[in-house]
Structure 1
Amino acid sequence: MDPRTPLVVLAALACGLVGWQWLRAGTYRRPGEGGPLPRHLWVPALAPFVGLAVERSLTDRPWPVLLAPLTLGLVGLVLAAVDADVHRLPNALTVPLVPVAAVLLTGASAATGDWGALARATVAAVLVGGVAILLAFFLHGRSIGMGDAKLLVSIAPTLAWLGWAQLVVGIWLGFVLGGIVALALLLARRATRSTQLAFGPWLVAGAVLAIALA
């Protein structure tokens, strides 16, 4: 076993526990977003597996390459928990994630000398993230939410740094997973066409799966 594997798994578990504590405080809720606060136990439970999946998929890469995908996956777990609870992705997480991803991806290129990957990530952030924000702004209520669009500004460059294929697969999987869940809820009559559904968890799941397949 690669000696860094248990270190990554333990670090992911620690981050999952920190995220869980933040979720337990419920400070992400706005006035009026009441109801029982979920326990969110699945966040620290899944965090080590996210860490393991990222580390194993990038086992032949230097450790700085792991940092951006790992950060996206772990912060994504917390974002998914919030979105599942209140159908909203908070700016407190989505906005800082953008510069953090930029710094970590720059560090990965500096460590590997692969500046083409950074250029590819920048193009993806502008194109995919920009289009997502425009859709959310001009098609409000008929397209993805603004929180989802802000999350894509981080997802797109992180996946594109690994390759265009990872970007396409990750975005495609996110929409496919979200569509399957929405269809299942409609068929089970637990949702209607006007029901607001959380899309963030499926964007995160698609991104993590694409990274795991890298």
Structure 2
Amino acid sequence: MAPYILALTLLALVSSQAIASDPSPLQDFCVRDKNSPIFVNGFVCKDPNLATPEDFFLPGLDKPGNTMNKVGSSVTLVTAAQLPGLNTLGISLARIDFGPNGLNPPHTHPRATEILTVVEGTLCVGFVTSNPDNKLFAKVLNKGDVFVFPQGLIHFQFNPAMSNAIALAGLSSQNPGVITIANAVFGAKPPISDEVLAKAFQLDKSTVDWLQAQFWVNN
């Protein structure tokens, strides 16, 4: 009996790994019902007979985002929240604009791998592996170059030039999520104890208090 139970346990573990991403759709499409009051893991589908081409269309990604902020970058997301026809399809898109020396700060996507291509300009990009190695994989990208950031790992993009840069990113979730590290740590509401942060980052409390008082840009 013990080997049988062990086999079932291993099968359950393998199965849990196999579904550790957006679930596959069971129909051609599931357009987000903007008017549904029901809360589910994703969005409720509207009647497919009421779907229109507009549900699968979003204009305006040719327009640059506003990079006049502290980090000098802007991310324009296209997820199921903006494009109803993306619901259940397991993908999303982002346009990232960089001003001169603009930075998309270190962040993670808890639910998606990201693949990025440079449309204009040059970017320095990289990601850091998990503990204990924390190895940095970094590369300078030029127009047309592609780089991939594995799911959940901290990564960044930086424009080293005095001209603008543009990138497009595909993400393997209809709602990839984003955790900007500095924002989450120093901009938490209510704030994380300065004693905790001072010890974690080996800083004095006055420095932590100053960091917590800053305005953190949500990209």
Task: Say yes or no: TM over 0.5.
Answer: no
Could you tell me the TM-score, scaled by structure 1's length? 0.26
Larger radius of gyration: 2
Higher strand share: 2
Higher helix share: 1
